[in-house]
Amino acid sequence: MLSNFRERLYNRELRNLRALNIFTSCAVTVMGFVFEFFYHDGYILITGLCISILLTSNYFLSYYSGFYRKHFVNISYASITLLHIWLVYLAYQRQFEISFLLPVSISIFTFSLVFDKFYKSLLFTFTLTTLMLGLMLVSEKWYPEYTITLIALYSGAFVSDQIRKRKDQYAGEIRKQERRYVSLVENMNDGLIYLDKDQRMVFVNEKFCRITGYSGDELLGKPVMSLSLENSPGKRPDEFFEELKAGMVVRFETLIKRSSGDHVWVRMAGAPYLDDEGRIIGSMIVYTDITALKYTQEMLKKREEGYRSFIDQSAVGIWRAEYRKPVPTSLPVHEQVELLLDTGIISECNEFMAEMYGYSGVADLVGRKIRDFYHIENNFDDEKTRQYITAFIQNNYRISNAESKELDKHGNIRYMLNNNIGIVENGFLVRTWGVQTDITERKRTEKELQESNQELDTFFYKASHDLKGPLASVMGIVNLARLENNDPLNEKYFSMIEASVQRLDRTLLDLIELARTRKGASKLSVINVNGLVDEILNSLKHLPHYDRVNFEIKIDRGIEIMADKVLVLSVFQNLIHNAINYCNHDSPWIRISVKETDTGLILEVSDNGKGIPELVKNRMFEMFYRGHPDSSGSGLGLFIVKNALEKMKGTIRFESEPGKGTTFYVTIPGALVEA
């Protein structure tokens, strides 16, 4: 549109200069005949007609000659200058009579305003005035009254200068505003078009071309409705343009077609523009590409639906609290606690949350103060509520897996697992999200399981003790039978019975030990590790091959640990017992090492036996599992070790290579708590 505007300005200037040439030509012709009529001066008529022909030629050649059209302004200025030289000559011929001199002077002043540059206008005025003055002096036709005319002409040049300066200022301001407008239109982020009365595009900016994919030449003169879709969602495009045509300011969102055949979402804001008389001559429309916005809105809508579906169908209680007055995180903790409780409101929760507390629906919880909510959550204990909120604040506005014992609406005890997180923005706590899991059934099951385990442990321990009595009786009977019967065959059977009874006895001892380890760390005492190992080795001297074993013991005599001796003894004894049983019987070698660290002890027990096959490594800590077919043990040793370490929150691992032996690595923490 700006190029059209400049072209219209140039065409208007061209029309004005053409009109000036033809009007001046007519005036000169008339003036020539007038002079001929009154003065019978044929020379004036002939020269006037020549000037008239020149001006008329300018008019016609400006239509048909590209050179003339390009330089028509300067050619017109030159023709005007030549015309006024002719007028000065006429005044000279008439001896500068005042009736000639005054019109010539007025014409010089008037035409000086036509020139678009001041220096041209000033040069024009001074050239003609100086020429006139020179001719006056040469012809000796100087009269004092002529001075007034000449002074008026020179003064007129300066007046013309002031008028031209003002004109240049206005023109400069117009050009400045035009440049601003051009910069705004061409660099704006939105598309801009102008329509004529027939809804055809007469101007489009670059952004609109990029939105539609068409070039400016393809769009100019095209009906704007050709870009609209017939079945566009929402308001029909023709309604938009009808309202625009009626003079209304209209906003509208729709889909328009691109040159590639696809569609783009746009927001249209249109307004009519008027002529000087207030009549609607067209309209202006701003197009904003909102495709990305629509895509984002659609994604947000889907996420909102997914979020809402997740919240509503979740099998845990989910709630959100908003604070009417955001809580400054810079305040002291106790002030934050009070503000949080006073300004917090439950603004959202799911149905499961309401059901957990015995309410009929979400509406019964939403809108309640967070103080009331926490009050119920902490069994109406205000001090406990404050402690809970204080811990929440001090833990960087988080609570993770905190268990609480609560009462629902009907007074039933419920156990909850709480996870809360506060949202902090610009130094203010603005909301809190909470997730609550009802673990009442789990706690009940855990309690029942704990009671069952206790009963099982009691049965385990009692049954093992009760079975040891009959075993001792069997051994006594076997010994009596040996004394009364010395038959070698019977002795063989007695030895087999004795071996079986001893194996059963060892199994019962392991079961008793297992029952004791399952009780956990209950009686803590200071244990000297070196003395404990000596005690264990002395108790195992009865084992076969013990005397041939080469023991390498690396234990500082000052190492001590605060722990349950039963549990620690179970770990050390079973590992050392296994090492003796499974070491290389040809050249038995065992290394026992204990190191003290800041967190407890590290025990290493190594042997040079056959090692543990790869296929059974994952089953070594299973109950009653024996890794070697020729093993005479109960399969409880490593199970007891692992169980004891779990009670002490210790760890165990091993490294074994077939044919080279096995090393067990054990960590025992040194900060146990007495149960």
HEC secondary structure over 446-468:
HHHHHHHHHHHHHHHHHHHHHHH
* Contact (CB, 8 A) for 370 and 344: yes
Neighbours of 592 (CB within 10 A): 20
Map tokens 């505007």 to a residue: 5
Rg (CA), the chain: 56
* Contact (CB, 8 A) for 307 and 284: no
Q: What is the dihedral of CA 445, 447, 451, 452, to 10 degrees?
A: 20
Number of helical H runs and strand E runs in the chain: 20, 17
In three-state secondary structure terms, 486 is coil
Q: What are phi and psi of 545, to 5 degrees?
A: 70, 0
CA separation for the pair 202, 538 (Å, rounded): 110
Q: What pLDDT score does 671 carry?
A: 59
- CA 537 vs. chain centroid, Å, equals 66
* Contact (CB, 8 A) for 288 and 300: no
- CA 642 vs. chain centroid, Å, equals 48
The DSSP output letter for 223 is B
Q: What is the pLDDT of residues 341-365, one digit of tens each?
A: 888 888 888 888 887 777 788 888 8
Q: What pLDDT score does 207 carry?
A: 87
Q: What pLDDT score does 673 carry?
A: 44
Q: What pLDDT score does 415 carry?
A: 81
CA separation for the pair 165, 167 (Å, rounded): 5
The per-residue b/e assignment along 271-294, b for 16 or more CB within 10 angstroms, e otherwise, is ebeeeeeeeeebbbbbbbbeeeeb
* Contact (CB, 8 A) for 644 and 666: no
How many alpha carbons fall within 13 Å on the CB side of residue 43? 6
Q: What pLDDT score does 332 carry?
A: 92
Paired residues of 346 in beta bridges: 321
- CA 487 vs. chain centroid, Å, equals 93
Paired residues of 631 in beta bridges: none
Q: What pLDDT score does 562 carry?
A: 85
Paired residues of 436 in beta bridges: 317, 418
Give pLDDT < 70 ranges for the chain.
1-10, 36, 39-42, 116, 118-119, 140-161, 163-164, 167, 171, 178, 181-187, 232-235, 276, 373-381, 407-409, 451-484, 489-495, 498-522, 623-636, 671-675
Q: DSSP per residue over 82-106, as a string? A: HHHHHHHHHHHHTTT-HHHHHHHHH
Return the biggest CA–CA distance within the chain: 188
9 by Cβ neighbours in 10 Å (0-12 / 13-18 / 19+) ranks as exposed
Q: What pLDDT score does 255 carry?
A: 87
Q: What is the pLDDT of residues 608-632, one digit of tens each?
A: 888 888 777 777 777 666 655 555 5
- Given the DSSP bridges, would you call strands 550-554 and 589-596 parallel, antiparallel or unpaired? parallel
Q: What are phi and psi of 285, to 5 degrees?
A: -130, 130
Paired residues of 267 in beta bridges: 253, 288
Q: What pLDDT score does 241 carry?
A: 79
